[in-house]
């Protein structure tokens, strides 16, 4: 069986939902993971923020506007009177719940309950639509099987067992629809897989059922060789290895949630990226095969903090690095890039929640300098560090100020740390020269 995930834009309008229906209605049994309709999760996050900021009237205005949009969508999509009224009752129940939340005190749990509503809305509406169209579909509630542990990792044994129970108890259907993104945490409270997490839901389910393939359907024809939001003339890449895709996703290629390929890599379950608006386009196939040579793609990750930790004779003071890393471990803050010299170590983090505490502890063992507003530019390609044209990178970057460089950590990745204000210029320059749109 295949698992197909459709993102926010794919279910974001009546027209696109009709495209999704045509794509999935091919006579094969499948699991369909849906995101919230585009814009909804952002609105829910904003509503939770209004509650935190004690401006409930702002939250109520947003809730009412969103409610009206959903009622209009249902009227356009579901013309069957019974289904239309059933759907409106369910959706209005969710909006009543949201309104009730505005009287409550803000908490992390309340935030999670609020942001979870987007996927509950989209799946219910889409399932009603399929029923209206005479398609044999059922809803599998994600909160009955999707769970993360105390390290926020999927609890795969729990998921396998409970998915099977839910699946076996559901009427025999062609299409099984479930919510992306939402899950339970280790205490059984509602949680989520972080923004963009529906991709991750799809591969977690794919791994749990040993799916034949996972497909991520979105609004672009696959993984491009550079970020199309900032760079002109990007091109889709037909094939990527799991390792290449994992690096690109982790270092900012928004088309995939950072963890997407991790659950399926061990079982070599292929992941195909497809465009809902252009289903005939090949897209990208992510598999264990490696292909091509040299730098294949570039991605950028923002909100990076660089920390320089200086101590006299660092390298000869054994145990120094251990002490440094222990501080990051205590505050559960992972390090992305690292470079060293005789007297200093520079590293980067993307989660600055505990930065002040980290600096305070590091101050006891060294001198610390912090630089905010940096971006990691990540260049990816099988064996790219050994490729004969990679030298060009250094020529191209002569006039870009590089704060750190990581070369050889793996043979498939070169990372550069730059000031975020130079990001677009650097991405475009790399694109033009590395992909030979312009020669040096």
At residue 136, the 3 state secondary structure works out as coil
**What distance, in Å, lies between the first and last C-alpha atoms of the chain?**
49
Q: Show Cβ contacts of residue 385 under 8 Å, excluding neighbours closer than 6 positions.
A: 407, 408, 411, 412, 413, 414
Rule CB under 6 A: say whether 8 interacts with ligand ASP: yes
Shortest Å distance, C-beta 190 to ligand ASP: 14
Query: Using the rule CB under 6 A, which residue among 35, 225, 287, 346 binds ligand ASP?
Result: 35
Pick from 155, 227, 336, 361 the residue near ligand ADP by CB under 6 A.
227
Nearest-5° angle of CA 279, CA 285, CA 291? 140
Nearest distance, CB of residue 208 and Mg ion, angstroms:
20
Among 3, 36, 121, 300, binds ligand ASP (CB under 6 A): 36
Which residues, 231 to 270, sit near ligand ASP by CB under 6 A?
A: none
By the rule CB under 6 A, 419 interacts with ligand ADP: no
| Minimum distance, C-beta of residue 248 to ligand ADP, in the bound complex (Å) | 6
**Nearest distance from C-beta of residue 218 to Mg ion, angstroms:** 7
Q: Is residue 228 at the binding interface for ligand ADP, with CB under 6 A as the rule?
A: yes
CB of 297 to ligand ADP, least distance (A): 6
Strand order in the sheet with 271-275: 137-140, 175-179, 30-34, 2-6, 213-218, 271-275, 284-287, 239-241
Q: How far apart are CA 24 and CA 10, in angstroms?
A: 12
Binding status of residue 219 toward ligand ADP by CB under 6 A: yes
The HSE-up count of residue 105 (CA atoms within 13 Å, CB side) is 0
8 A C-beta contact, residue 111 and residue 44: no
Place of tokens 């005479």: 134
In the complex, minimum distance from the CB of residue 224 to ligand ADP, in angstroms, rounded to a whole number: 4
* Binding residues among 111-130 for ligand ASP as defined by CB under 6 A: 118
Which one, 23 or 405, has the nearer CB to ligand ASP?
23
Of 228, 223, 224, 232, the residue nearest 429 (C-alpha)? 232
Q: Does 41 bind ligand ASP (CB under 6 A)?
A: yes
Q: Which of 12, 43, 167, 197 binds ligand ASP (CB under 6 A)?
A: 197
* # residues near ligand ADP by CB under 6 A: 18
Establish if 218 lies at the interface with ligand ADP (CB under 6 A): yes
Strands (E), 229-365: 239-241, 271-275, 284-287, 297-310, 335-340, 344-349
Determine the Cα–Cα distance for residues 440 and 419; give it in Å rounded to an integer: 24
Q: How far is the CB of 303 from Mg ion (least distance, A)?
A: 18
Round to whole Å and give the CA distance between 155 and 152: 9
Residue numbers at the binding site for ligand ADP (CB under 6 A) = 7-10, 35, 196, 218-220, 223-224, 227-229, 253-255, 299
Residue numbers at the binding site for Mg ion (CB under 5 A) = 7, 196
Residue numbers at the binding site for ligand ASP (CB under 6 A) = 7-8, 35-36, 41, 118, 180-181, 195-198
């Amino acid at each position: 069986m295949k698992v197909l995930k459709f993102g926010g834009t794919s279910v974001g309008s009546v027209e696109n939902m009709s495209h999704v229906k045509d794509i999935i209605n091919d006579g094969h049994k499948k699991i369909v993971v849906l995101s919230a309709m585009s814009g909804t999760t952002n609105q829910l996050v904003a509503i939770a923020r209004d509650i935190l900021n004690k401006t409930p009237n702002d939250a109520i205005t947003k809730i009412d506007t969103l409610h009206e949009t959903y009622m209009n969508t249902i009227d356009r999509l579901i013309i069957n009177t019974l289904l239309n009224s059933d759907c409106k009752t369910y959706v209005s129940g969710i909006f009543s719940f949201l309104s009730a939340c505005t009287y409550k005190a803000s908490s992390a749990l309340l935030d999670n309950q609020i942001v979870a509503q987007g996927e509950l809305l989209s799946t219910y509406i889409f399932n009603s639509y399929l029923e209206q169209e005479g398609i044999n579909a059922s809803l599998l509630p994600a909160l009955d099987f999707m769970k993360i542990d105390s390290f926020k990792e999927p609890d795969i044994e729990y998921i396998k067992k409970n998915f099977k129970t839910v699946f076996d108890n559901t009427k025999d259907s062609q299409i099984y629809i479930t919510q992306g993104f939402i899950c339970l945490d280790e205490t059984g409270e509602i949680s989520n897989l972080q923004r963009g997490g529906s991709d991750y839901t799809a591969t977690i389910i794919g791994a749990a059922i040993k799916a034949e393939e996972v497909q991520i359907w979105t609004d672009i024809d696959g993984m491009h060789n550079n970020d199309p939001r900032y760079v002109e003339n990007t091109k889709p890449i037909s094939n990527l290895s799991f390792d290449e895709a994992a690096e690109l996703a982790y270092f900012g290629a928004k088309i995939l949630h950072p963890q997407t390929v991790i659950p399926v890599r061990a079982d070599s379950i292929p992941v195909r990226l497809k465009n809902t608006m252009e289903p005939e386009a090949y897209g990208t196939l992510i598999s264990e095969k490696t292909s091509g040579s040299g730098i294949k793609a570039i991605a950028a990750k923002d909100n990076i903090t660089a920390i320089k930790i200086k101590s006299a004779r660092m390298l000869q003071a054994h145990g120094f690095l251990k002490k440094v890393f222990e501080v990051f471990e205590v505050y559960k803050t992972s390090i992305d890039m690292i470079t060293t010299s005789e007297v200093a170590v520079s590293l980067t983090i993307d989660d600055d929640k505990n930065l002040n505490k980290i600096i305070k502890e590091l101050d006891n063992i060294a001198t610390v300098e912090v630089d905010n507003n940096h971006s990691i530019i990540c260049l990816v390609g099988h064996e790219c560090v050994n490729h004969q044209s990679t030298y060009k990178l250094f020529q191209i970057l002569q006039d870009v100020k590089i704060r750190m460089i990581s070369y050889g950590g793996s043979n498939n990745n070169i990372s550069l740390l730059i000031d975020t204000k130079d990001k677009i210029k650097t991405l475009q320059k790399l694109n033009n020269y590395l992909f030979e749109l312009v020669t040096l």
